[in-house]
A and B are shown apart, each in its own frame.
Chain A
Amino acid sequence: MLVVKDLNTHYGNIHALKGIDLEVKEGEIVSLIGSNGAGKSTTLLTITGLLKATRGQVSFKGKDITHASSSDIVHMGLSLAPEGREVFPALTVQENLQLGAYTKKDKASIKESYDRVYDLFPRLYERKKQTAGTMSGGEQQMLAIGRALMTEPKLLMLDEPSLGLAPNLVLLIFDMIQTINKQGTTVLLVEQNANMALSISNRGYVLEIGKVTLSDEAKALSENDKVRKAYLGNIDH
């Protein structure tokens, strides 16, 4: 569904991505793990067109989207819930969701998307008239995911959805990700919490300073000694 080949991205003189290759197949949950500054978020931002690739190719559903505009990419069914939630703080929950459906014209299908999101996150329904900036971190994360789902994406990319959340909320969010996947949305997940991420994924990629250094089935990765030592923090068991 998503194929990334030899992706290179620069921030000015800094060569942030040095030839990333990865693939996400329909129906999968794929994790991208790695430490701070490895290029995980940069990879997602380049795929969405918010950062420009300096070399390489991104194709989605067989179409080359390397140089497509963000709005075209969203319209094709690829959406991102960015790191740090990035909700619109002074707008209400409902207005945030409405913006999620910005590229959609069909009223009936927008209505369906609201129903689906409110169904997944009843909390958002309770707070739909509240401004997003006044909500807790967990609720804002639900809103960020809900907002990304409003376009009915084929592929949902999540950047650090567990960041800064209490453990019970992390469990809830990961549970939601699995539910969303079972409803037919493919998921590309970037996480520092590698344990959790691999436990719900089919496959995973390990990123180190702008390169993919390992890729395997999620189960194999979580049993890989190098990965356990570097990212999972449990060498004994």
Chain B
Amino acid sequence: MIEQLLNGLALGMVYALIAVGYSLVFGVLRLVNFSHGSVYAFGAHMALFFVGLQFGVIPAIVFSIILTGILDILIDKFSLAPLRKKKSKGIAALITTIGIAYIIQNLLMIFFGSQTKPFPAIFDYGYVTVLGISIKSTQLFILVVSLILLAILTYVVKFTKIGLSMRAVEQNQKAASLMGINVNSVIRFTFFLGGASAAIAGSLISGYYQVVYPNMGFLAGLKAFSAAVLGGIGVLYGSIVGGLVVGVSESYAAALLGGSYRDAVAFIILIIVLLFKPTGLFGKKDITKV
């Protein structure tokens, strides 16, 4: 049982890393960025690519983080920013992100092939014992790395100047520009953070399951999106809790109900939570007072 829990927590942390990307972008743009799953797959492929060039796993992941962050900036610059400038409806941007998801996925198929490719294990030293519990080193690595990254992200958003400007843009774009904040660069920075955390999630999961394939982002993206909605989209710690709930329940479902239910359970939980709390676990209603 404890093994399932650890497995679920590790998986959940990765979902959380993807979910914060949905949450951050939703925060500043009120947009569900459906290209995010493919961006995650892109991150995994970039890591694979640089591993193939004999860079070593860690430098490969660092390159992947940077490139994937830049990809997300480019997605915004060339497809979403023009729509904002024309003040087009939100649905146009939403459909655009779905289109981009397919473009990325197909480009990955063209350049890397659609088959499943092996990825080297990261930090694999078999089992280690922590506080009397024996845990796979790969799981421990995922847990520690994700925790550190989520802590850094939270610190950036809550306590830095750029984080403050992100929250300002989230609440009132017009007033933010009046303060002299360049709203577009704040949005670009947000996309970079989202892309970077997706790349880390993609690399961690690839190192854990030791496989990479172009549509790996589809299900992972949907589950992470449910995690974000479950926790209350736009709320950072909500995404983390949501990710853990989805990961742990998926892991237990696989063990108790059999593998065929593992993918359904995230969505069942999402539906139940939304029935009782439409804003998600930690979602806030917008405060408006005039």
A residues at B contact (CB < 8 Å) = 48, 50, 69-71, 73-75, 79-80, 82, 84-91, 95, 98-100, 102-103, 131, 133-134, 137, 140, 147, 151, 164
Contacts and interface: CB of A to CB of B under 8 A. Distances in A.
Nearest to B289: A133
A137 B290 CA distance: 7
Given A87-B175, A90-B167, A91-B171, 8 more contacts: A71-B182, A91-B164, A91-B167, A99-B168, A102-B161, A103-B180, A133-B287, A151-B180
A82 B176 CA distance: 11
Contacts of A69: 182
B168 A80 contact: no
B171 A79 contact: no
B179 interface: yes
A75 B180 contact: yes
B290 A84 contact: yes
B177 A86 contact: no
Contacts of A70: 177-178, 180
Contacts of A147: 179
Contacts of B180: 70-71, 73-75, 102-103, 151
Contacts of A134: 287, 289
Interface in B164-196: 164-165, 167-168, 171-172, 174-182
Contacts of A75: 180
Nearest to B175: A86
Contacts of B290: 84-85, 137, 164
B164 A95 contact: yes
Contacts of A74: 178-180
A218 B290 CA distance: 31
Contacts of B260: none
Interface in B242-290: 284, 287-290
A89 B175 CA distance: 11
A88 B175 contact: yes
B102 to A, nearest CB: 34
B24 to A, nearest CB: 16
A79 B178 contact: yes
Interface in B129-178: 161, 164-165, 167-168, 171-172, 174-178
A99 B179 contact: yes
B94 to A, nearest CB: 24
Top-10 shortest CB links A-B: A74-B180, A71-B180, A133-B287, A103-B180, A86-B175, A88-B171, A89-B287, A102-B179, A70-B177, A99-B179
Contacts of B175: 82, 86-88
A135 to B, nearest CB: 8
B176 A99 contact: yes
B184 to A, nearest CB: 10
Contacts of A89: 171-172, 287-289
Nearest to A144: B175
Given A71-B182, A133-B287, A82 B174 contact: yes
A190 B225 CA distance: 46
Given A50-B177, A99-B165, A164-B290, A88 B182 contact: no
Contacts of B182: 69, 71
Contacts of B161: 102
Nearest to B182: A71
Nearest to A135: B289
A215 to B, nearest CB: 26
A102 B167 contact: no
A175 B165 CA distance: 32
A86 B289 contact: no
Contacts of B181: 71, 99, 102
**Chain A CB within 10 A, most for which of B171, B174, B180:** B180
A91 B177 contact: no
Contacts of B172: 86-89
A142 to B, nearest CB: 15
A80 B287 contact: no
A86 B167 CA distance: 14
A102 B175 CA distance: 12
A133 B286 CA distance: 10
A50 B232 CA distance: 32
A65 to B, nearest CB: 13
A91 to B, nearest CB: 6
21 contacts: A50-B174, A69-B182, A70-B178, A73-B180, A74-B180, A75-B180, A82-B174, A82-B178, A84-B290, A86-B175, A87-B175, A88-B171, A89-B288, A91-B167, A99-B168, A99-B176, A99-B179, A99-B181, A102-B165, A134-B289, A151-B180
B178 A48 contact: yes
